[in-house]
Chain A
Amino acid sequence: MKRSPELGSDSTALSHPAPMIIEGGMDQLASLHSFVEALCNEMQVPDEVRFALKLAAEEAFTNIMTHGYDAESTHTPVDLSAHATDEEIALVLTDRGEAFDPRSVPPADVHSGWEERPIGGVGWHLIRRLIDRVLYEPDTPAGNRLTLVKRRTAGSRPQKT
């Protein structure tokens, strides 16, 4: 049985929702949301966890679509899969676009006044605040692998990443 390296040896690769590949660009957002909704239904998570996973998935997907063009300038497909333990869910997005370094993402400006406040730039900030553990493995044989790990119960606090 496939284990998730991010969740450890007691994790289970989920067959429902079945792993899927999203082809194309941002117009496939609905497919991504459907996958996450199905995952949350299967795991019977509280609304707070569902919201966090759905939003983090969208922000991660948007980031891939922004950066993940291949040499022919077509959107990289994105593989979706999920793993779970009794305590945690891991949502995995794997793309075959150009890798990027999450450490290169500048901190979000969430303090400037309205005139100076930049439009945009909070996607990664939201991922880090909503998700308990974020793991990024660029350039694996399958592609760039982003894992979003969230505790299944409400009231979890993200670790520093």
Chain B
Amino acid sequence: MTVSVQQMNSAIVATVQGSIDSLTAPDLSQVLDDQIEEGRVQMVVNLQGVAYISSAGLRTILRSLKRARREGGDLRLTGLQPGVRQVLELSGFTSILQSYETTSDAIDSFGL
């Protein structure tokens, strides 16, 4: 799994490629934590390249979502593939965070 981060306007976009599972979720956590620690708390996580996510990935997303919101920002998702969307729905995540079809929609949603 790889994560690349780009600054886009005043949001950061973390683009993930590969599976987010028990072994790879800590790497994603580290990247998102680093951004939050730098004060970059308007976050878009692009999951277009992710076909698989387990509960470890959900924990990472929720942990980062809470941190970002507590710092006055947010974490929003894009590019949800069917399996990933299903896991988010089954886990009740779709009621607590926003997801968008495209990364530019997600960036625009921050109204910046």
Residues in chain A within 8 A of chain B (CB atoms): 26-27, 29-30, 33, 47-48, 51, 54-55, 58-59, 62, 108-111, 113-115, 117, 119-120, 122-123, 125-126, 129-130
Pair B54/A58 contact, Cβ less than 8 Å: yes
Comparing B8-16, B38-46, B88-96, the segment that makes contact with chain A is B88-96
Q: Which residue of A lies closest to B97 (CB)?
A: A114
Secondary structure call for the A interface: helix
Whether the pair B66, A30 counts as a contact (CB closer than 8 A) is no
B23 touches A126 (CB 8 A): no
Check B55–A123 contact: CB distance below 8 A.
yes
CB closest chain-A residue, reference B23: A29
Compute how far the CA of A59 lies from the CA of B100 in the bound complex, rounded to whole angstroms. Answer: 27
Given A119-B59, A119-B63, A125-B91, A59 and B52 contact (CB-CB distance below 8 Å): no
Establish whether residues A26 and B52, one from each chain, have CB atoms under 8 Å apart when the complex forms. no
Encode B34-73 as 1/0 by CB contact (under 8 A) with A: 0000000000000000011011101100110110010000
Contact B90 A120 (CB under 8 A): no
Complex Cα gap A140–B66 (Å): 43
A54 to B96, CA, bound (A): 25
